């Protein structure tokens, strides 16, 4: 008996009766599954089917046609992403996959069928393209707050009051207070990103030159000194987020001065560019830029 698509009043989406009489949703128009598996003849489905066949014939002609790959490395990549706080629902969104794809890959299908042994190459490519970086974490996910706490404390140490930081971050002052005092060990991913961006904007800005009253800046510096909070110069950019890192409170000035001296020699006598000098000295371009800025500040003082 021929089955036909119909509209369910509750969902308003096309469905097709499945085994057991329960309706299941069809894939959207313009997808390969809708056109080739479910036989849709609309123009978007016909177009994606034609494009698929052209790509298939071209790859076959060059001997590179590989529609499926081993699923195990893909599952290992997902496990690695999850260890970074990127859950599989977030991975599915970033990879633009359906819930069915991810369920089959990780847990298997109904009826006791095991997880997929193979996965389409295109699906694998989408998942493997998701990298373990903070930008990939869901904004509301909780992540380690070490770097956030250190950045906020460092800004307070150079004179930025917590209330001003909260205003610029569009956060409640209690949230900033909780972070700087480590009342909570974690932070929302969106807060971590916002603090990181603000830190890059303000670490070398004198608060009094950017609208902060002298008395409030002095009070912030005094508070930080009393609690042992160190300024940005004490932290290495590459390690500030690492819980194992420790601040350099005694050699920060000489360390930056030596770095600037070496970089100036490379650029002045050897013709190195700023990025080349940073690479030669084993630091990032941002770290070398910070060393130059800190040296200028010390010179002006």
pLDDT tens track for 266-279: 888 888 888 888 87
If you search the block for the tokens 């000194």, which residue do you land on?
Answer: 225
Q: State both tokens at 57.
A: 């014939």
Mean pLDDT of all residues in 145-157? 94
pLDDT bracket for residue 66 (50, 70, 90): low
* Residue 34 pLDDT: 76
> Among the listed ranges 32-41, 94-103, 169-178, which one has the minimum average pLDDT value?
32-41
More confident residue, 244 or 240: 240
pLDDT bracket for residue 149 (50, 70, 90): very high
* Residue 71 pLDDT: 84
**How many C-beta atoms lie closer than 10 Å to residue 287's C-beta?**
16
Q: 289 burial class (0-12, 13-18, 19+ CB within 10 angstroms)?
A: middle
Q: State both tokens at 75.
A: 């599952």
Maximum Cα interatomic distance, the chain, rounded to a whole number of Å: 87
Q: Which residues, including other chains, have CB under 8 Å from residue 86's CB and lie 6 or more apart?
A: 94, 130, 132, 136, 137, 138, 141
* Check whether domain 139-246 has CATH 1.10.260, yes or no: yes
More confident residue, 38 or 154: 154
d(CA 297, CA 301): 6
What is the pTM assigned to this prediction?
0.56
pLDDT bracket for residue 41 (50, 70, 90): confident
Q: State both tokens at 258.
A: 């030596």
Mean pLDDT of all residues in 229-237? 85
* Residue 226 pLDDT: 92
Task: Evaluate if residue 294 carries a pLDDT over 70.
Answer: yes
Cross-strand partners of 23: 17
Q: State both tokens at 290.
A: 């910070």
* Residue 6 pLDDT: 40
Task: Evaluate if residue 54 carries a pLDDT over 90.
Answer: no
The end-to-end CA distance of the chain, in Å, is 87
pLDDT bracket for residue 115 (50, 70, 90): confident
More confident residue, 283 or 178: 178
Q: What percentage of the chain has pLDDT greater than the value 70?
A: 83
- What is the residue-averaged pLDDT of the chain? 80
Q: What are phi and psi of 146, to 5 degrees?
A: -60, -55
Mean pLDDT of all residues in 212-232? 92
pLDDT bracket for residue 180 (50, 70, 90): very high
pLDDT tens track for 5-21: 443 333 344 555 554 55
* Residue 102 pLDDT: 80
* Residue 155 pLDDT: 95
């Amino acid at each position: 008996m021929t089955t036909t698509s119909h509209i369910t009043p509750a969902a308003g989406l096309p469905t097709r009766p499945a085994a057991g009489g329960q309706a299941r949703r069809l894939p959207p128009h313009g997808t390969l599954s809708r056109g080739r598996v479910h036989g849709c003849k609309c123009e978007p489905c016909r177009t994606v089917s034609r494009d698929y066949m052209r790509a298939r014939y071209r790859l076959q002609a060059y001997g590179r046609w590989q529609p499926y790959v081993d699923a195990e490395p893909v599952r290992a990549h997902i496990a690695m992403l999850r260890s970074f706080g990127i859950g599989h629902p977030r991975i599915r969104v970033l990879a633009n996959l359906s819930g069915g794809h991810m369920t089959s890959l990780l847990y298997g299908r109904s009826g006791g069928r095991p997880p997929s042994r193979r996965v389409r190459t295109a699906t694998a490519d989408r998942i493997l393209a998701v990298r373990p970086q903070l930008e990939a974490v869901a904004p509301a996910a909780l992540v380690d707050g070490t770097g956030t706490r250190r950045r906020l404390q460092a800004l307070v140490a150079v004179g930025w009051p917590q209330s001003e930081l909260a205003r610029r971050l569009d956060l409640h002052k209690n949230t900033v207070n909780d972070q700087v005092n480590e009342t909570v060990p974690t932070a929302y991913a969106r807060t971590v990103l916002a603090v990181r961006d603000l830190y890059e904007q303000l670490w070398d800005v004198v608060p009094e030159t950017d609208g902060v009253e002298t008395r409030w800046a002095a009070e912030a510096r005094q508070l930080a000194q009393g609690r042992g909070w160190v300024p940005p110069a004490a932290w290495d950019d590459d390690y500030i987020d690492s819980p194992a890192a420790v601040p350099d409170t005694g050699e920060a000035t000489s360390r930056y001065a030596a770095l600037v001296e070496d970089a100036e020699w490379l650029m002045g006598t050897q013709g190195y560019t700023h990025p080349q000098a940073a690479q030669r000295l084993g630091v990032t371009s941002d770290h070398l830029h910070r060393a130059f800025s800190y040296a200028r500040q010390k010179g002006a003082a």
